[in-house]
Structure 1
């Protein structure tokens, strides 16, 4: 089978649009990202948040409008660990300004001495000096996990000076506005980082600045001063498997990367492909990964892959969160147990009872009472983050007119339990009804073991211990690296996550046979993105 790009970071910037497939929902999100209003995109891992922001950035670059688009990735936030209570705010500000200055230089745009002076507290009026100051601050923070240095932020400007400088830069260069695209907004298990991110996000608002960001469902903490429904356009990136264009949309995504033989095979065996596309529950990365791991495109192989991935791998990934972050382990383990031992059996029992009665209605949905314990809701939020379930809506009336939230279990997790998922998939799919679901009331017996569990905030000591432990892990845990990439890295003596993180593109070129500048950059970007996603949860 074909080999696929599983992450946006692995795709060359100038090739992004050639891989783009957009439906009406995607187009609406891109339009929101390119509007003057700030926008947040919420979506589980692998749904394509980064990709859509890159498409929006490129569309802005291609228009004749006098605007500047600046893409800033905060994926390395997991490595920041200093005694500075505003460490994340300061690092973000320095990284954002450094990226902005770099983008201005690439575009040949002017930074006046006055603007440069505003961007630095050391009264420098040279853009290069300001960039060097910012670069040293960024590097110091990103090496702070080693515990060997404190970070001097004396040269960082005040936020009001930053906004004034950006206004002057816009006026000097006849720009109407700057668009900042913040990717991997903050470490998902460090709520204080997220609160500081949204402080900066709100502080930067001005007639000359629009901030956009990608966030995860269930694990995002906005803080007291930020309200997503009032302070931005809030968009959810999710795809309903019941939409009329769903299957064709995912076929187009695959065909953008597949070779001719794979395309022909898929066209000749559409039902096999459709089952894999439905199993991923709207997650492009899951579909591409399962296709890439498929030894043969036939019923036997697909049945086995569905069982292995949706009974095993998807649950293992969720459980590993608890192994990485011990403070979350109780909630994470309970959430998995609740889904596997209570919810899914209830869904199966519900489906069997409807079938016995001769009613052609099936379900992959369940309902949770709005007054269920907060610990239950927290465990479910963690399951939405890893994408095992999807929250559909919040105020649905069930039996006796009680209100609650409705969730969807990943389609693949339901049909993987059958002896032959392929044979029952399409009849099962055609009988799905979103109006039918088992209900779990506010005092359900399954809640007893988790009812009084505490929240999921980690203190710094817990977090640093978890981080250092993960950095020692072998690179084999990075699932999205190809086997070829892993083999080449190991052959060059790069065996652990920390060793990989510390390598530069130049050292990869020098140390790995047959790796040139382009391939080294792709490998470094893919490896960095994957290892930092692993570190951040």
Structure 2
């Protein structure tokens, strides 16, 4: 039996804990095919990712964008005969370059140079995987590329060093590789694109994306709904086709998709989870709200402490299932709350958004009161057009995976309504699905499986804001504070604090994030305490700069799976 310490954290890393790694990019190549399952629309999505043209893969955090990109990459890489050069590059840490935007006017030059070098770095890795590939004589060395990337990220580079790494030179290099190997084209898979919360940085990324596209280069980028800022010259639909990969949490196909994910991850663990608990697992799948990462978090909890969750007959304890159903929505609310640190200028939108969310949840609960299970809803409609402040708030909830857009529905003279589905974990936790008897998994499933009607509570912007006791003056842009006295600066151009007279320093979102204590990360309090007790790691930057993972791996009971979880939590926080 695995021992537990006083704080409830498992001492030993369990044999199959690596099965429950949630981010696809951290799964070993050998295990990737065994642990991942087919997206309900996988064939069509992969055809678009492997084909010509520019595409934007959209969906909230954890919905499976990286998995699909890596599947497309491996499929192209292993095809016989090989006709396409696949390049997979992850821009998750693009915010590392964001401080350049607060230090000088030439930031777009450095950032686009960084993007070009990251693509070359990834291309070198791809070429290393291909047998008998012919290489051009002017192919850069990996060591040189890594050195230049480090220099840009540390702001210690001379412009002349990267002038030769322009978008045009990248295109020529790729065209040369395509020509000498008789490939049809290069498919450039850019994961975690537009991850940076700097609006200007996002716009520069889309300028790069649009410029690199050619007859021989087909860029595909994974982006988020709601928060992505496209450049003025970039038009979604014209410059790139959007592909929504967020799986709708409804129907037999959805249940089968999630149950297969659970079976894959528990294979070999000697825990019989799905066969005896199919309804419970379907219920938890709905509470994950179409986000496999949230569902995997639930599965990990069961695997780590089976004695806590199982009855003696092998069934799951119902009280524990209902408690576990909250974890999916808590993960998404954590993503939403993190926007305060990542977008400090829009702090008021994030804070007031909580009040609006509460009102919408109450509207659904009131609508469902007294109705039979087959008539209840998890959706709401807001009459178009939306108030601009409300539209921004809802976009944040889409990014976090708390609201899923359903579509536009006309209601005669009452106008057109924009319909959204609220996170089912919140609906369940808040008892917004109303029953006449004690809450049970079977009752919730009756409601969730019966969602075929077109009835939902309706509201409009002014009424919603009124009930939330908000008006447009409550939504304001907050400027950075003085580093000395904390007074908000009077204008973006201000150079001195109006209160204490101190010179105002340029504000960097990335520097502010990495300077946070590790307590902000999505890891257990016991894990945080152990890290601080047994290492010199205190801040988020300490984890990110420990590139060899030596400090983490020296800590007792922290091995591969837990190191991956800690590092991914740090990277998620700053991205």
Query: Residue 67 of structure 1: CA displacement?
Result: 2.0
Does residue 113 of structure 2 align to residue 90 of structure 1?
yes
Of residues 514, 523, 537, the one that matches 1:471 is 514
Q: For residues 46-445 of structure 1, what are the structure 2 equivalents within 5 Å?
A: 46-64=62-80, 65-80=82-97, 81-82=99-100, 83=104, 84-86=106-108, 87-107=110-130, 109-113=133-137, 115-116=138-139, 127-128=140-141, 131-144=142-155, 149=156, 152=159, 154-157=161-164, 158-259=166-267, 264-294=272-302, 295-296=308-309, 297-307=316-326, 310=329, 314-340=332-358, 342-355=359-372, 360-393=374-407, 395-398=408-411, 400-418=413-431, 420=439, 422=441, 424-433=443-452, 435-445=454-464
Of residues 15, 18, 24, the one that matches 1:8 is 24
1:476/1:486 contact within 8 Å kept: no
Distance in 2, Cα, partners of 1:450 & 1:89: 40
Give deviations 1:127-185, integer Å, cap 9, x for gaps. Answer: 33xx44432331123234xxxx4553543333223212221121122222211111111
Distance in 1, Cα, partners of 2:506 & 2:60: 22
**Equivalent residue, structure 1, for 2:499:** none
1:66/1:176 contact within 8 Å kept: yes
1:272/1:302 contact within 8 Å kept: yes
**Equivalent residue, structure 2, for 1:501:** 544
**Which piece of structure 1 moves more, 320-329 or 278-287?**
320-329
**Equivalent residue, structure 1, for 2:496:** none
Cα 1:324–1:39, aligned 2, differ >3 Å: closer, same or farther?
closer
Query: Residue 42 of structure 1: CA displacement?
Result: 0.2
Query: Residue 302 of structure 1: CA displacement?
Result: 1.4
Cα 1:42–1:526, aligned 2, differ >3 Å: closer, same or farther?
same
Stretches of structure 2 lacking an aligned partner (at least 5 in a row): 1-13, 303-307, 310-315, 432-437, 481-491, 494-503
1:319/1:336 contact within 8 Å kept: no
Helix, strand or coil: the match of 2:41? helix
TM-score with structure 2 setting the length: 0.80
Distance in 1, Cα, partners of 2:163 & 2:440: 58
Stretches of structure 1 lacking an aligned partner (at least 5 in a row): 117-126
Distance in 1, Cα, partners of 2:441 & 2:158: 57
Helix, strand or coil: the match of 1:239? coil
Of residues 34, 38, 47, the one that matches 2:54 is 38
Q: How many residues align?
A: 509
Give deviations 1:497-537, integer Å, cap 9, x for gaps. Answer: 1111111326348845688xxx65x666554433121112x
Distance in 1, Cα, partners of 2:422 & 2:50: 33
Distance in 1, Cα, partners of 2:425 & 2:37: 23
1:376/1:450 contact within 8 Å kept: no
Helix, strand or coil: the match of 1:266? coil
Distance in 1, Cα, partners of 2:231 & 2:43: 29
Q: For residues 441-456 of structure 1, what are the structure 2 equivalents within 5 Å?
A: 441-446=460-465, 449-452=470-473, 453-454=475-476
Return the structure number with greater helix share: 1
Pairwise CA RMSD: 3.1
Cα 1:106–1:260, aligned 2, differ >3 Å: closer, same or farther?
closer
Query: Residue 307 of structure 1: CA displacement?
Result: 4.5
1:9/1:525 contact within 8 Å kept: no
Query: Residue 413 of structure 1: CA displacement?
Result: 0.7
Distance in 2, Cα, partners of 1:510 & 1:290: 25
**Which piece of structure 1 moves more, 203-212 or 287-296?**
287-296
Give deviations 1:218-258, integer Å, cap 9, x for gaps. Answer: 11111121122122232101112223311111010111111
**Equivalent residue, structure 2, for 1:124:** none
TM-score with structure 1 setting the length: 0.86
Cα 1:314–1:187, aligned 2, differ >3 Å: closer, same or farther?
closer
Give deviations 1:322-358, integer Å, cap 9, x for gaps. Answer: 2453212111122221111x11111011111434xxx
